[in-house]
Amino acid sequence: MKQYVIDQLREEDHQAITEFLKKNADPTVFSDVFWLNIPENLYTDTQKEHSECPPFYFAVNLSEERVDFELLIRSRQILRCSCIHYADRRQREYILNYADQMLEDLNIKI
């Protein structure tokens, strides 16, 4: 799995990220996994053509000492489709910027 990993989190970093994600992301049935939608203006041409598949999202996996931002863009409606693929350049930039901005907003120094 391709992902952007931030590791060596301290306990207080983990707590801050958990609270941030609870407020800014969608929870899942797994307590430390969150979903964040990709803005529609960043959909690829294939994703735009698939009107039955949006919204598209990426997953954020949080563990005690790390947070992983997955680079696989998934559909909330269907598990297998040609529109589900790794982030393109613009989507990847969005995910990395989101992660970096989160750290900055939370004043987490890695």
Q: What angle do CA 93, 84, 100 make, to 5 degrees?
A: 20
Own/partner contacts of 42-45, CB < 8 Å, gap of 24 or more, are 42/90, 42/91, 42/94, 44/83, 44/85, 44/88, 44/91
pTM for the complete prediction? 0.93
Tell me the residue range of the domain where 66 lies: 3-105
15 falls within a domain? yes
- Quote the pLDDT of residue 109: 86
52 falls within a domain? yes
46 falls within a domain? yes
- Quote the pLDDT of residue 22: 95
- Quote the pLDDT of residue 77: 85
State the 10-residue block means of pLDDT for the chain, 110 residues long. Answer: 94 96 94 96 94 95 96 92 94 98 93
CATH number of the domain enclosing 65: 3.30.310
- Number of folded domains in the chain? 1
110 falls within a domain? no
